[in-house]
Every structure is written in structure tokens, then in C-alpha cells.
Amino acid sequence: MEPKERSIDKAAQEMIARMAKAGQQNAWDRLDAQTPQCSFGKQGICCRICAMGPCRITKKAPLGVCGADEDTIVARNFLRAIAAGVSAHSDHGRTVAEVFIAGAKGQAKDYKMKDTTKLYKLAEELGVKTKDRPVNEIAIDVGEIALAEFGKPVGTQLMARRAPASRQEIWKKLGVTPRAVDREITESLHRSTMGVDQNYKNILTHASRVALADGWGGAMLATELQDVLFGTPYPGIGEVNMGVLKKDEVNIIVHGHEPILSEMIAVASQDEELLAKAKKAGAKGINVAGTCCTANELLMRHGIPIAGNFLNQELVIATGAIELMAVDVQCVMQGLTIVANCYHTKLVTTADKAKMPGVEHVSMDEKNALSTARELVKKAIDNFKNRGEVYIPKEKNSAVGGFSFESISYILGGRFRASFRPLNDNIINGRIRGIVGVVGCTNPKMPQDLTHTTLTRELIKRDVLVLTTGCATIACGKQGFADPKMSLDWAGPGLREVCEAVGIPPVLACGSCVDNTRLLVSCSEIVREGGLGEDLSDLPVAGVCLESVSEKALAIGQYFVASGVPVVFAEETISILGSKNVCDYMFDGIKKDLGGQWILESDPVKAAELILEHIESKRDALGINKEAERKLYDMEDRRTLSVE
Ligand code: XCC
Ligand code: SF4
């Protein structure tokens, strides 16, 4: 396969070609070697949950040894995948809560409460007294309440109270208001062991509950606590793509998810003593860049450059310019060890729960965080002399990141009357048709970044405001969507007018995947602001992820659906097609229960059309589509709009 068919990112294309020439492998090559992939797995109809199996459903053998049918098997597999995704986000959230408490207690001296305004707000929300109390005392209480959310024996998730009242009522009626995060995950595993829950609908209902424990629990807490600890993001400009690497500096890549590590490396890289050491080693400076969600965290808060998204991780090393790549948890390909061995790059694992064979491990200890980070930076500097041939693609684009819920309300309403009112008004008057979250990974099954960016282009030109998170943000950033100078020209007239008036790009980079919870909070605020219905399911909004990779993406998809928002996924990335009943429920029946539903569509243009249809139908139902204003695009309109 030609590099062009593998990625639309020019830097990636160059690196793919170079790796091929050097006889090195990457994820695309390994996918080729794996093709054709197991069709039972694809459909979700294989089960290896007990020792009577593994079983797979065929015409000849339509039942597993225990008698389980395809509905049970598909639903169980789906539930387990979601539970795994939830566990990842929530474990991240828990780690942050622990560091948060340690920081407040003075046991992790390098972590301080940066955004005390947000801390006070959170304290108030959680019923923690703030009057006449020192910041750290308040933080300890907030942190302990947050930590308890993961394992408390009774009660439901406190963050779920942020949802509109009608939404909470829907959850209550269906019995899916999430309890402790750990409990929902444990119950997911229990229900899906051999001989327990055999009613696919009951299994899928629990899939909603465990996913809600993520969106309105673990992941939301991760975002909130990180904001207090590292600062709530406000818009700032950064750069995206491999062109951010510097030939004459020590390049360090931070890769993974938890800012606990990367924040400290960012600090250490500015240390005078280390800078002097780098100079002595012959480098002009120390350049830190991120990949995957860690990159989003750093761009959001510090404008630190992004070297690439998920599928770029191996390619970045193949530039020969990376002295050290520090990884923590999630989305770290084992293939990294192989390419790192072809270059001088030092790969270092830092999370005790995520080691790699043959890779040096430096345990990230929160008590000595900064000195651990300094140690890593030193290793990078020491490795500079071992560089061989370097090739850095030129490609890079400016990107504005930092769109948190707080910064969006501030930009829209100003410092003294921060509010979502202007956004609601512009949705009501039709300048903005609706809001779509374009989220998720990059998957070698489709050309890297193609669907995210095609879809985003289709949406903004039809006056839909796009919020992005995760690797989709990076895909959009690489193609200029997060740069108002470029992307305003691609926006429809209504959206453009609003964006120009308030000074934002039509595509808002909202952060990492745990930050999808910022989208939930923003949607809840839109409902609260008024004029657009009573519930999240009334809003002209949708979520979409056409290049999903991780189980985390399924968890996110399911919590959007269970929050009343439809979610579009690509058929290639969701393994439920082996059960007609499961599909009927996920694509349709669930709508009656929860208001959202899954929609399958791999083609980004068609996906945009489906989403627009949904948005306009919601607008009709809200009564805000006055005849004259309604935009129905025919082919002719689309052609005119495609001319840039
Ligand atoms: Fe992973 Fe978060 Fe997906 Fe990217 S978007 S491939 S989950 S890094 Ni989160
Ligand atoms: Fe087979 Fe049933 Fe065991 Fe699954 S649980 S492996 S279907 S016997």
C-alpha cells in the first residue's frame, strides 16, 4: 500500500516511505500481516470466557457449549470492552486524585493547587466548607471526596448531579444512575462471566451504567482535578506535527495519558542547570513535544507542541531525532520497542503498572516527581551524542488549544458575565446549526486523519460548531482546522460570523479523551441556559468517532448515547454486528430508553449528512427552524460550498 493510502498527513507519508525503505515495520505493515482478520472477532461472536470454550457462533453450531446464543455473547463482549475502557479512564482519575491529595498534604511537594478558583467551585459543589480555611485543607477534603467516588460502598456518582434534572430522572427510571466506579466495573465483569446475565438487553443496560460511571464519574473527576492541579486551560497557540521537532536541540517526547508525568518533564526542561548541560552536550536547547492525549494535555495548558497522534508514535522515532520517549499508560504500542532499537532513541516506561520488555523503567514517584523528571531529561541529554542520521519532516501547523468549559463561557460572555447565552442565541437564530464532538483515535484500517478532517470540513461548512478531543484534535490540528487563520475560510457564513465576533476558530480543541467530559458539562450548561429544550436529548448535538481504536472510545461512545446524544462510529471499529437483536437495540431501541443511539457509517461525507439530518430534526422539534432559515443542502449547494 502506498504511503498516501495510509495517511493523509504529509509528514506521516514521508516517514512511512522512509521506514519502508529502511526495512522497518510499523502498525500499517502489521495490519497487512494480520489481514484478513478473524471474522468471528469482527462480529463479536466468539467467546472464551470459560474453559468449556472457546466457542464461536456458526450456522452449524449456533450456541456455545453453555447454551449462550449470539445475543448474549455479543452483548457480553461489548460490555467487557466498555468496562475495560472505563477502567482505564477511571484509573487515570484515581491516580490524579491520589496525587492531588498528596500535593495538598505536602507529601508531593512538586504538585500545588494552581487554579484555586476552580477548587473553590468544586468544593462548593461537593459540600466542602471553604470559609476561613486554608487552600490545602479544602483541597484535602475535595480530593478525598473525589477519591471515594471510585469505591464508596453506597450512593451514586456525585458528578452525575451536573446533568439536567430530566436526564437524571431518565437514568433513575431505568436504574442506570452510576454507583461507585469500581463497583460498576466489577459488576460488569461479574455479569459477563459464564452463567450469569443472559438477557442481552439487561447486559446492555449495564453497559450504559458502567459507561456513565466514566463520563459522569471517573473521567470527569480526572479532568476537574487536573484543572485544579495544573490549571484550567485557556486558549493559547501551539504547533502540531513532526515539524515541531528540532534538529539542533535535545528532543523529548512524552507519550501516553496522565499529565502527572508530562507536567513535570515540561518544568524540568526549563531548568537552567539542565539547559546548560544540554548546551555543553552540543544542543541548542531542550525541546519537549507530546504524542496522543498527553500531547493534548500539554497543548491545552502550556502551548507545548504536539508531534503527532496515535499512528505517529512509531514514525516520530524514525526521524532519528528523538533522544528520549517517556511513556506512561494507554495507547503505547509495543511496536515502539522495535523501532526504538533501530535508532538511538531511549524508550523509558514510568508507570509501575505499564512496563515493556527490554525497556528501562524509571518509576514515576509522586513524592519525587520533579527529580524523577530531571533524571529523565538528563538521560535525554546524555543520549544526544549518540544521534545518527536525522530526518525531520517540515510539516507543522499552528493550532489554538485550550477550550475548556470555563474558557468557552469566558470567551462567549466576558469576564463578568461568563455565560453560554451567546452560544444558545446563535444556535436558536440558526447562525450555528448545532454542535458536534469529533473525537477519538487514528486506526490503520482507514487512512490516518482522513475521516476526522473530511467530516470536520463538511460540518463546519454547514455551520456546525465542532468540538474535538483526543487524537481527532491532533488530526484536525495537523490540517489547520485549529488555526483560525485557515479554518475560518472553511466555515459556513453563519458559523464564521459568530467565530469572528468572539474570536474563536470553528473547531475547538477541547483536550484529551478524559476531557470529553467537558463536552457533557458544556451541553448541560446549554440546557441550563435555556431556550433549547429540557434535556440533553433535545439539543441539536451529536458525537462521532470514525477512526476509533481503544476500548476507551467505546466507553465514551456509550456514555454519550446514555446521556441522550447519538454517536456515529465506523462499522470496522465496533464488534456487534453478529447479533441482530443487539444491533436493533443499540441502533434503535435504546433511543426509547435513553434518547441517544449508535449509528454506523464509515464514510465521513455520509456521516456528516446523517448528523445534519439529526441536527435539523432536533431544531424542528425545538421549533427554532423558521421556514426561511432552514438550510437544506442539495448537491448543487454542496458543490458550491466545496469550492475553496
Ligand atoms: Fe488513544 Fe488518548 Fe484514542 Fe488517541 S484518542 S488513540 S484512546 S490517545 Ni484518546
Ligand atoms: Fe462457550 Fe459459554 Fe464458555 Fe462462552 S461461556 S466459552 S459460550 S461455554
Over the stretch 361-414, which tens digit does the pLDDT of each residue have? Answer: 999 989 999 999 999 999 999 999 999 999 999 999 999 999 999 999 999 886
Mean pLDDT of the chain: 96
In the block, cell 484534535 appears at 473
* Residue-level pLDDT at 520: 98
For the cut 90, the answer to whether the pLDDT of residue 627 exceeds it is no
Of 548, 550, 552, 573, the one to substitute when testing ligand 1's pocket (max ligand atoms within 8 A of C-beta) is 550
* Secondary structure (DSSP) of 102-158: HHHTTSSTT-----HHHHHHHHHHTT---TT--HHHHHHHHHHHHHHHHH-SSS--G
Distance 404 CA to ligand 1 centre (A): 18
> Over 90: is that where the pLDDT of 599 sits?
yes
Distances (CA, A) of 379 to 304, 350, 360, 362, 389: 20, 13, 11, 11, 20
pLDDT of residue 638: 59
Backbone angles phi, psi at 348, to 5 degrees: -130, 125
Q: Which of 223, 240, 545, 549 to mutate to test the pocket of ligand 1 (most atoms within 8 A of CB)?
A: 549
Ligand 2: residue of 40, 56, 57, 65 to mutate (most ligand atoms within 8 A of CB) is: 65
- Closest residue by Cα to atom 7, ligand 2, is 64
Per-residue pLDDT, averaged over 492-518, amounts to: 96
Beta bridge partners of 345: none
Residues with CB under 6 A from ligand 1: 257, 292-293, 309-310, 331, 440-441, 470-471, 512-513, 549-550, 552-553
Give tens-digit pLDDT for 172-190.
999 999 999 999 999 999 9
Quote the percentage of the chain above a pLDDT of 70. 97
- Nearest CA residue ID for atom 5, ligand 2: 194
- Write the pLDDT tens digit of every residue in 299-344: 999 999 999 999 999 999 999 999 999 999 999 999 999 999 999 9
- Cis omega (within 30 of 0) on the bond before 505? no
Does 45 contact ligand 2 (Cβ within 6 A)?
no
Distance CA 52, CA 170 (A): 39
Query: pTM of the full predicted structure?
Result: 0.96
Stretch 135-159: mean pLDDT: 98
pLDDT (average), residues 154-162? 98
Residue 643 has pLDDT above 50, yes or no: no
Residue nearest ligand 1's atom 1 by CA = 331
Mean pLDDT (whole number) for 547-567: 98
pLDDT for residue 586 is more than 80: yes
Instruction: Over range 450-454, report the average pLDDT.
Output: 98
Ligand 2 atom index nearest CA of 64: 7
Does 629 have pLDDT greater than 60?
Answer: no
Nearest CA to ligand 2 atom 4: 47
Residue 422 clears pLDDT 80, i.e. is over it: yes
Question: Looking at residue 417, what is its pLDDT?
Answer: 77
In which region does residue 331 sit, left (phi positive, over 0), alpha (psi from -120 to 50) or beta (all else)?
A: left
pLDDT tens-digit series, residues 51-93 = 999 999 999 999 999 999 999 999 999 999 999 999 999 999 9
Cis peptide, bond prior to residue 54, ω within 30 of zero: yes
Would you say residue 50 has pLDDT above 70?
yes
pLDDT at 413: 80
- pLDDT bucket at 626, cuts 50 / 70 / 90: confident
**Which pLDDT band, with edges at 50, 70 and 90, does 418 fall under?**
confident
- How does residue 644 score in pLDDT terms, banded at 50, 70 and 90? very low
